[in-house]
Amino acid sequence: MKEVQLLFLCTQNAARSQMAEGLARTLAPQGVTVFSAGTTPTSVHPLAVRTLAEMGIDISRHCSKSVNDFMGQRFDLVITLCDHARQSCPIFPGAPNAIHWNLEDPARPELMEAERVTAFRQCAKHIKQLVDDLFHRGYLDAFLKEQRNLDAVLSALPQGILCHDLNRRIFIFSKGAENLTGLSAAEVMGRDCHDIFRPLLCGDHCLCRPFQGKTSDLSERSYQTVYRNQSGVRKSFDVTVVPLKDEIGTPTGAMVSLMDRTRVESLERELEQAASFCGIVGQDHGMQVVYDLIRDVAGSDASVVITGESGTGKELVANAIHQESLRRDRLFVPVNCGALPEGTLESELFGHVKGAFTGAIRDKKGRFELADKGTLFLDEVSELKPALQVKLLRVLQEGTFEPVGSEHTIKVDVRIISATNKNLNDLVQKGLFREDLYYRLAVFPLELPPLRVRKNDIPLLAGHFLDHIREKSGRLGLRLSHEALEVLMSFDWPGNVRQLQNAIQYASIKCRAVDIEIQHLPPEIAAAFPLAPSPIPEKRDGRGKPGRKPKLDFASVENVLIKSGGNKSKAARLLQVGRATLYQFIHRNSALKRLTE
């Protein structure tokens, strides 16, 4: 048998635990080590010494210890000897079995001296019987076997399991957790998980926040997160957090399960099936390349400049880089350089002191100071005026700046991500943007594809925006008709994803039924695909030449729809017209609609 460690624990009066330790050391089989502690220990009680001396056991040299002295130690069994100790017993590393022997306090103040002597003798006799049963009737072996089985199960699980108490002290850290994180149980056991994992594994999902006086809404939660080990290797985890509670439902901590999805994520990218990434929706090959670039650059602190047309989602990409980085526990601070006047922008970026200018009635922190240890996103960076370009360059070079009106220098550690829909290199050639600043900002350039070159993402994006509308409005049946989707697929989207989002919002407002049709789309989109003219008889002009025939006529469409069994795509091919043209014609003629239903 490997060495076994037991702890006896009682509260303010430590006499019971002191006697239990003395008796257990006498009766314990070889290989069992015994300790005792009090939650608020006192010196050895004289009657405890006298009582055990009568039984031939000397505890006169016993030193009282606090439970805090053992918080980092692993025990195989913890035995509480009073209700207060049971209720306040901490969870030790490895989560050992904790059993309770409810012994009356022999030092109760209401007892007379003779009664107290009798109470100590009875208590010692009771403890001796319980200790003897524990060691010699198989109870200790049963507890140890249960603990070994739990350890074996945890070691066999491929996912990582860690558990912590309400103070976030880790008491279980499985082999799977060691393999996934690169940390050993010895390194983390008994420590605050927020001190170990930077950035935090839990992020905004930490269950310990509600524990601060509010425990009624605790529930299981699942999410995905990114972890980089000490060597910088990136892993993607599926995380499940479950609150731990005692037998009466009081929260005692949390269990965290980590499942490595890095390989799955890699396969999804290879198969181009990853429909979204950090809030960015898209599975087109061009977007998969963007996702890979985000992962590549997120592990460093290199400055990134994101280029792309308006509406392509540059801020989403900047935020994704931040969320994938080691700075994700700190603030992501965006500022639009083109939306504010130069004087206001300087104050916005660097802050100001009271009295620096008219209206500066108090000191104000700038975005750089707010983003310290985090990420600052400069949108429309090409709009920065020359004076501000100089100040920005200094921050990038030295990490220091002065607030407006101040002589005090502030040092910050900020990662800069910038974005523009203009060609910065062209602006440099024209003398409108500093070359040295350009090279500082564009350490890692990242270009976003416009929506018109990734049209396969349009149904995905439209569905994503409709999901949000359905959730907010309660119109659960709202959907896009095939004809409306065909028009969306055919449009060039000069305003990119933002324009598509606005179009879906507009159509959902205009549509009062379930199906969003072509006529519900914004005028500039519907106008790009005018409704086909109604069938009219063939006319001749004054010179006897035939007039222009409509592209489609009722009889031809009806005949082809019958032949195709109502398949509109097949009918469009037979008629040699675009699907949008055919869909609009059918929409104008209710008699034809019935053939497609």
Higher pLDDT, 205 or 10: 10
* pLDDT above 90 for 429: yes
Q: Tell me the pLDDT tens digit for each residue of 511-541.
A: 988 999 988 999 889 877 754 343 344 444 4
Distance CA 335, CA 338 (A): 9
pTM of the predicted protein model:
0.68
Q: What is the mean pLDDT of residues 326-339?
A: 92
Q: What is the mean pLDDT of residues 18-33?
A: 93
User: In sequence order, which ranges of 491-577 are alpha helices (DSSP H)?
Assistant: 496-510, 523-526, 554-563, 568-575
512 close to 474: Cβ distance less than 8 angstroms? no
Give all domains of the chain, ordered by start, each with its CATH number.
Answer: 4-146 (3.40.50.2300), 157-260 (3.30.450.20), 276-449 (3.40.50.300), 453-526 (1.10.8.60), 531-597 (no CATH)
- Pair type for strands 332-336 and 375-379: parallel
H-helix or E-strand spanning residue 228: strand 221-228
Higher pLDDT, 53 or 88: 53
**Amino acid at residue number 292:** D
pLDDT of residue 380: 95
pLDDT of residue 214: 47
- pLDDT band per the 50, 70, 90 thresholds, residue 430: very high
Q: Which residues are within 8 A (CB) of 342 and not within 5 positions of it... i.e. 6 or more apart? A: 385, 387, 388
pLDDT of residue 597: 67
User: In sequence order, which ranges of 325-477 are alpha helices (DSSP H)?
Assistant: 342-350, 367-370, 386-398, 424-429, 435-441, 458-473
Share of the chain above pLDDT 90, in %: 48
Closest to 262 measured CA to CA, from 298, 288, 292, 226:
226
pLDDT of residue 273: 61
- Sign of torsion over alpha carbons 65, 68, 70, 75: positive
pLDDT of residue 587: 72
Share of the chain above pLDDT 70, in %: 91
Average pLDDT, the chain: 86
Which SS3 state, helix, strand or coil, does residue 498 take?
helix
**Where do the DSSP E strands lie in 412-529?**
415-420, 444-447, 479-480, 515-516
- Pair type for strands 160-165 and 251-260: antiparallel
pLDDT of residue 131: 95
pLDDT of residue 215: 46
* pLDDT above 80 for 385: yes
Distance CA 473, CA 508 (A): 10
* pLDDT above 90 for 497: yes
Transcribe 162-211 into DSSP letters: EEEETT-BEEEE-HHHHHHHS--HHHHTTSBHHHHSSS-SSGGG-TTTTT
Please count the other Cβ atoms lying within 10 Å of the Cβ belonging to residue 219.
9
* pLDDT above 90 for 555: no
- pLDDT band per the 50, 70, 90 thresholds, residue 213: very low
Higher pLDDT, 176 or 531: 176
Tokens 């907010």 — which residue?
Answer: 472
Whats the size of the chain, residue-wise?
A: 597
Tokens 């043209």 — which residue?
Answer: 581
| Partners of residue 8 on adjacent β-strands | 36, 79
* pLDDT above 70 for 217: no
Higher pLDDT, 43 or 421: 421
Q: Tell me the pLDDT tens digit for each residue of 287-312.
A: 989 999 999 999 899 999 999 999 99
Q: What is the mean pLDDT of residues 402-406?
A: 88
pLDDT of residue 259: 93
* pLDDT above 70 for 412: yes
Which SS3 state, helix, strand or coil, does residue 95 take?
coil
Q: Tell me the pLDDT tens digit for each residue of 462-494.
A: 999 999 999 998 888 899 998 899 899 989 999
Tokens 């330790």 — which residue?
Answer: 21
* pLDDT above 90 for 220: no
Q: How far is CA 381 from CA 23, 204, 336, 386, in A?
A: 76, 30, 8, 12
pLDDT of residue 537: 43
H-helix or E-strand spanning residue 32: strand 32-38
Tokens 């558990």 — which residue?
Answer: 163
Q: What is the DSSP letter of 66?
A: B
pLDDT of residue 170: 92
Lowest mean pLDDT among 10-19, 27-36, 375-384: 10-19
Tokens encoding 582: 């055919």
* pLDDT above 50 for 209: yes
Distance CA 320, CA 323 (A): 5
Tokens encoding 262: 């890095």
Closest to 348 measured CA to CA, from 311, 407, 392:
392
Q: Tell me the pLDDT tens digit for each residue of 246-267.
A: 878 888 888 999 999 888 877 7
Lowest mean pLDDT among 193-197, 244-248, 467-471, 591-595: 591-595
